[in-house]
């Protein structure tokens, strides 16, 4: 881990801890109390934050954290709100990171290094890369959320994970305000996992991500659905824009738009089985799809398991399972987080009873 020795200075004295938080800020930021969070989570769940702060620039983050050192309120860092389920009001401070900025910092004959601020919308960054002919993330088109959240979850789709393109992650320590930078290996990326979900959870704010993108592209279009879509589009020699277009078409067809139907994308992780356990399952269910991984285990599509337990298209009030993709739980309008989580637990139980597989939730529950 590289420590960035930049000093963080604050405008406020230690006596600021005695003041009421909404009145202590002289910098320009959105700061309110008792704020509805429905518009800040893609599930569209009704919940409130005792205090809500929206930070638009790095100096605002600095000053905010300097004050937070003297408070004990629970703190939730929010990006695009696309991987979160509120089951109740948040009894603390919700901080939305809305910093913006994309800049090229260096390049070689084969690669370009681009620094992206945490508050940039992920798909806007994908489109920026396509416009500049920077490759590597075209398979991740149309994934909801912000750039600062992508390393935490190690977002992935259609044979590509964001870890494949991340060079390093810059962050600030919430407690001591120290800036630091983690290399790709130090982030300990795994399937939908990283160090930010473990040792660093609740301890840092990701401020920017540096990506290593290709100028000479290697395309990933071995997934059958991408190949089928390219054929449908009449494209025989695809480029990165064609891959992104195919992925976008597939996602728009299979997945609900959060602006129309509340959801957080894939609700469960795809489980991995040892070769022995997979062989047993394959014997009972010969048509079960699978993907053999580099470590010899087999990844099973959670959507297939859920569908074959009869949950696809299920609806109980406004909580349900999407009709086109069983991996996506949805809020049809007025469902609350507790109803969504109860449905998720019922699905987990049925998968365990029928297949003997423990299904892990991918969405963060609050």
Contact call for residues 145 and 97 (beta carbons, < 8 A): no
Q: Which residues of 217-232 are buried (b: 16+ CB within 10 A; e: fewer)?
A: beebbebeebeebbee
Q: Is 149 helix (H, G, I), strand (E, B) or coil?
A: helix
- CA pair distance 299, 66, nearest whole angstrom: 44
Using DSSP's 3-state secondary structure scheme, residue 238 falls into: coil
The set of catalytic residues is 192, 266, 362
The answer to whether the beta carbons of residues 83 and 146 sit under 8 Å apart is no
CB-based burial, 267-279: b 16+ in 10 Å, e otherwise: bbbbbbbeeeebe
252: Cβ contacts below 8 Å, ≥ 6 apart: 142
107 phi and psi angles, rounded to 5 deg:
-160, 160
- At 139, is the secondary structure helix, strand, or coil? helix
């Amino acid at each position: 881990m590289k420590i960035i020795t930049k000093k963080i200075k604050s405008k406020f004295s230690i006596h600021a801890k005695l003041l009421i938080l909404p009145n202590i800020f002289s910098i320009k930021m959105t700061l309110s109390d008792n704020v509805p969070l429905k518009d800040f989570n893609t599930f569209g769940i009704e919940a409130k934050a005792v205090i809500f702060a929206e930070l638009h620039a790095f100096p605002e983050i600095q000053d905010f954290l300097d004050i937070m050192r003297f408070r004990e309120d629970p703190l939730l860092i929010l990006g695009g709100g696309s991987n979160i389920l509120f089951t109740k009001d948040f009894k603390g401070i919700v901080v939305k990171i809305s910093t913006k900025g994309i800049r090229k910092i260096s390049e070689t004959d084969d690669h370009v290094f681009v620094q992206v601020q945490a508050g940039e919308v992920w798909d806007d960054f994908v489109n920026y890369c396509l416009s500049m002919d920077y490759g590597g993330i075209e398979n991740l088109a149309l994934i909801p959320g912000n750039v600062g959240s992508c390393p935490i979850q190690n977002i992935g789709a259609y044979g590509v994970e964001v870890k494949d393109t991340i060079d390093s992650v810059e962050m600030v320590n919430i407690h001591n305000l120290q800036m630091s930078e983690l290399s790709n290996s130090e982030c300990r990326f795994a399937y939908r996992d990283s160090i930010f979900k473990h040792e660093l959870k609740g301890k840092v704010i990701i401020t920017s991500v540096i990506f290593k993108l290709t100028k000479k592209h290697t395309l990933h279009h071995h997934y059958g659905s991408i190949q089928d879509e390219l054929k449908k589009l009449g494209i025989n020699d695809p480029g990165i824009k064609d891959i992104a277009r195919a992925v976008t078409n597939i996602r728009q067809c299979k997945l609900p738009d959060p602006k129309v139907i509340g959801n957080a994308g894939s609700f469960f992780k795809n489980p991995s089985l040892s070769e022995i356990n997979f062989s047993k399952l394959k014997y009972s269910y010969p048509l079960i799809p699978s993907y053999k991984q580099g470590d010899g285990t087999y990844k099973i599509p959670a959507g297939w398991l859920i569908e074959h337990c009869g949950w696809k298209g299920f609806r109980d009030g406004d909580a349900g399972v999407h009709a086109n993709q069983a991996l996506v739980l949805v809020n049809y309008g007025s469902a609350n987080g507790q109803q969504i989580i109860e449905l998720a637990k019922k699905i987990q139980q049925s998968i365990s009873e029928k297949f003997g597989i423990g299904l892990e939730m991918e969405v963060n529950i609050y």
